[in-house]
């Protein structure tokens, strides 16, 4: 009788664990299916609004003026250097995007990465697109969005995006903790109704969600600007040898990093 009871208890325990395992597997595969479905939806959107060109990409030579190289040993400014770089991007019809959804701010892309998405902006509803797709429907992946406090002429444009397990959205930002990845992906392109602009990455920082950098939106003071740039360079994971100067717009890309929900990685770039 006791053996029979033990067999029943063992069978119940095995049954419970089996149900839990099956439920977990269903949840995992369901999430994978959803993420891949949302990935395909963004691919289709990109296809719709990508402008036709004579080639699949457009090559632009970007001039980075007024970038001063400062000695690591003193405050003497070395000879000013004009730096030339080449970036590639597929142009998108921002006017068409805005006609499809007036809350679209533009399109962001980094060549050679999965980052190739529209950017939304809803000042009256700051996190509206945290879990909504471009069309305003519920989405696990959400859509990258511009900080509600920002406008197109802000000193620092802060754009948020999820870190998805399938490598979509802003997951590739985490690769910037490696210097070699920065050298291979040094340029971010932001397209808005005002045109397409290239931004050169100058800092990558691991911070908390309440880091002071999130308070930097706009300044009209060169000293304040320099203070913030110094802050970002000091906290950077490596030295990019690029130092923005007052008057140049900053672009900040933010996503989750690591297992702690408050950990963030920021990739900072300066407009050329």
pLDDT of residue 50: 87
- Sequence spans of domains, the chain: 49-271
Q: CA–CA distance from 253 to each of 16, 99, 249 (Å)?
A: 44, 25, 13
For 102-106, the CB contacts below 8 A with 24+ separation are 103/128, 103/129, 104/134, 105/145, 105/146, 105/152, 105/192, 106/190, 106/191, 106/192, 106/193
Please give the chain's pLDDT, 272 residues, in tens: 555 566 666 666 666 656 566 554 444 555 555 667 788 888 898 888 887 664 444 444 333 333 323 333 344 444 444 444 567 788 999 999 999 999 999 999 999 999 999 999 999 999 999 999 999 999 999 999 999 999 999 999 999 999 998 999 999 999 999 999 999 999 999 999 999 999 999 999 999 999 999 999 999 999 999 999 999 999 999 999 999 999 999 999 999 998 888 999 999 999 98
pLDDT of residue 151: 97
pLDDT of residue 64: 35
pLDDT of residue 76: 43
pLDDT of residue 6: 64
* CB-based contact 80:66 (threshold 8 Å): yes
DSSP tag of 171:
G
pLDDT of residue 185: 95
Q: Hey, which residues does 266 pair with through a beta bridge?
A: 205, 254
pLDDT of residue 114: 95
Architecture of the CATH domain 49-271: Beta Barrel (2.40)
Residue 60 C-beta-side C-alpha neighbours within 13 Å: 18
Closest of 144, 148, 172 to residue 42, by C-alpha? 144
Q: CA–CA distance from 227 to each of 157, 221, 239, 243 (Å)?
A: 17, 10, 17, 12
Backbone angles phi, psi at 117, to 5 degrees: -140, 160
Pairing mode of beta strands 250-256, 156-160 = parallel
pLDDT of residue 159: 98
What is the pTM assigned to this prediction?
0.80
pLDDT of residue 39: 82
CA distance 35 to 164: 8
Give, rounded to a whole angstrom, the gap between the first and last alpha carbons of the chain. 81
What does the angle CA 181 – CA 184 – CA 248 come to, to the nearest 5 degrees?
A: 95
């Amino acid at each position: 009788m006791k053996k029979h009871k033990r067999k029943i208890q063992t069978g119940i325990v095995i049954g419970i664990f089996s149900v839990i395992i099956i439920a977990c597997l269903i949840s995992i595969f369901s999430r994978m299916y959803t993420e891949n479905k949302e990935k395909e939806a963004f691919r289709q959107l990109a296809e719709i609004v990508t402008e036709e060109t004579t080639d699949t990409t457009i090559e632009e030579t970007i001039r980075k003026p007024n970038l001063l190289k400062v000695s690591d040993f003193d405050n003497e400014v070395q000879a000013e250097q004009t730096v030339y770089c080449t970036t590639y991007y597929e142009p998108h019809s921002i006017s068409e995007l805005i006609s499809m959804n007036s809350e679209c701010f533009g399109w962001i892309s980094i060549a050679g990465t999965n980052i190739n998405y529209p950017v939304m902006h809803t000042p009256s509803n700051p996190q509206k697109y945290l879990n909504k797709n471009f069309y305003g429907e519920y989405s696990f992946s959400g859509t990258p969005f511009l900080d509600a406090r920002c406008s197109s002429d802000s000193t620092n444009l802060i754009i948020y995006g999820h870190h998805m397990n399938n490598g979509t959205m802003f997951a590739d930002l985490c690769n910037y903790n490696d210097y070699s990845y920065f050298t291979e992906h040094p340029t971010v392109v932001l397209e808005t109704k005002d045109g397409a602009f290239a931004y050169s990455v100058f800092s990558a920082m691991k911070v908390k969600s309440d880091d002071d950098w999130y308070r930097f939106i706009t300044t009209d003071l060169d000293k304040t600007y320099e203070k913030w740039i110094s802050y970002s360079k000091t906290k950077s994971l490596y030295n990019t040898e690029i130092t923005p100067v007052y008057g140049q717009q900053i672009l900040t890309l933010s996503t989750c990093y690591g297992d702690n929900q408050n950990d963030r990685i920021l990739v900072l770039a300066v407009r050329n």
